[in-house]
Structures are given as structure tokens and as C-alpha cells.
């Protein structure tokens, strides 16, 4: 991100033309709503139907909500495993 200058630096006029030496933060992955769900997709060379559990988009509240999201994601995995084991009986 060459020449990227966040608006927050604007009040610091002395920084407006300062040389950027190093970038040490990343962007927070965010979307309009976080996503915790499961979806069935055809994957791999053989287009096998497989389950994917999505758990992303927590954004700036990520650390706080990650615990609950992790529990929900685990429950979805458990549901999938339980349903798969039943379908083989």
C-alpha cells in the first residue's frame, strides 16, 4: 500500500510529508455481518460434496466474540459428524 496515509494523521501536519519507514499493522478482516454457518460444496479434482464450516468476519470485535463463534463452529462440526455417522448406518 504505497503512499497510504490514514486520515488520523492529517491533524499532525508535520507528518504529512514524512517518509514511511515501515508498516507494522494489517487490515482487520471485516464484513457487514459476521458469518458462522455451514455450506455444502463440490471440491477437489473429483468434485466430491464436502461440508465447509465458515467462521469469519468478526472484525473489530473479534477477540470478544471469537469464544462464542468458536463454540458455534464446533457445534456445527458436531452436527455434521453426527449426521454423517447416522447416514452410514
Ligand X SMILES: Cc1cc2nc3c(=O)[nH]c(=O)nc-3n(C[C@H](O)[C@H](O)[C@H](O)COP(=O)(O)OP(=O)(O)OC[C@H]3O[C@@H](n4cnc5c(N)ncnc54)[C@H](O)[C@@H]3O)c2cc1C
CB burial of residue 69 (10 Å; 0-12, 13-18, 19+): middle
Stretch that binds ligand X, among 2-10, 14-22, 46-54, 66-74 (CB under 6 A): 66-74
- Closest approach of ligand X to the CB of residue 28, in Å: 4
Least Å distance between CB 27 and ligand X?
6
CB 39 within 8 A of CB 5: no
Q: Which residues bind ligand X (CB under 6 A)?
A: 26, 28-29, 58, 60-64, 66, 69-70
Amino acid at each position: 500500500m504505497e503512499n497510504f496515509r490514514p486520515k488520523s494523521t492529517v491533524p499532525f501536519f508535520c507528518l504529512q510529508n514524512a517518509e514511511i519507514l515501515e508498516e507494522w499493522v494489517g487490515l482487520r478482516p471485516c464484513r457487514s455481518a459476521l458469518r458462522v454457518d455451514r455450506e455444502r460444496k463440490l471440491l477437489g479434482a473429483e468434485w466430491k460434496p464436502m461440508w465447509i464450516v465458515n467462521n469469519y468476519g468478526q472484525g473489530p470485535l473479534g477477540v470478544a466474540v471469537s469464544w462464542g463463534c468458536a463454540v458455534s463452529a464446533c457445534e456445527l462440526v458436531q452436527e455434521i459428524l453426527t449426521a454423517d455417522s447416522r447416514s452410514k448406518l
